[in-house]
Amino acid sequence: MKDQTPTPHIGAKFGDIAETVIMAGDPLRAKFMAEKYLENPVLYNEVRGMLGYTGLYKGKRVSIQGHGMGIPSIGIYTYELFNFYGVKTIIRVGSAGAIDKDLKIGDVVIGMGACTNSNYAEQYRLPGHFAPIADFELTRKAVDAADKLGIRYKVGNIFSSDTFYDDTPSLSEWQKMGVLCVEMEAPALYMNAARSGNKALCICTISDCPFTGELTTPEQRQTGFTNMMEVALELL
């Protein structure tokens, strides 16, 4: 494969990024995670402020990087990582709004599948509708890690929306279908992994409850959601 690095969005050279990348929408969450958990983290990207680091966690090489907000943004970064940097596994650690009535602030959701209102799959010209799903092995390991760490979690379908401010609120309709939470990125991650023959998983922490109005602060979302980070690191 011809070396196409650096890319327009990632300033790293081929080899600077590990085969497993943990990604967060907020690059400052990625920075916090790298500095908190990695041994000798090295900054490999700061193009557009989307910080990326490579270091060691318990002797295993891993990279941690931001991916921005929304399906188009994560779609660009994960495509480049899978197709140009030799990345084999991407785990997203993100925030989400609760749809399931039993979920509380701080609970972890492991996204087995991702419903969406996005047209991202149209590019593949499939003769039907693609169902974006996580890698089973990663999902099983995440469940085992959450059990081991004593973390409150649920596994199931999540909803990934193209709109943060929805003019026609419809979360109650997704609730009827047993969907657990709403976020904005997982389908592009899952589709890019499937198309490139690689592995992906989305792990989210409930940061707000749209039906009750409960919210967390930006600081809490940046540095407080360590449970999902530790689950993700256990998958290395």
**Residue 1 pLDDT:** 57
Q: Is 208 a catalytic residue?
A: yes
pTM assigned to the model: 0.97
Element (H, E) at 134: none
CATH superfamily of domain region 20-233: Nucleoside phosphorylase domain (3.40.50.1580)
CA distance 106 to 206: 5
What does the pLDDT look like over 118-176, one tens digit per residue? 999 999 999 999 999 999 999 999 999 999 999 999 999 999 999 999 898 899 999 99
Q: Where are the domains of the chain?
A: 20-233
Q: Stretch 205-213: mean pLDDT, rounded?
A: 96
Q: Stretch 21-47: mean pLDDT, rounded?
A: 98
**Residue 168 pLDDT:** 86
| Residue listed under structure tokens 């890019």 | 192
CB 207 within 8 A of CB 105: yes
Q: Could you write out the DSSP letters of every residue in 85-123? A: S---EEEEEEEEEE-STT--TT-EEEEEEEEES--GGGG
CA distance 141 to 129: 28
**Residue 233 pLDDT:** 98
Q: Which of 26, 100, 107, 208 is catalytic?
A: 208
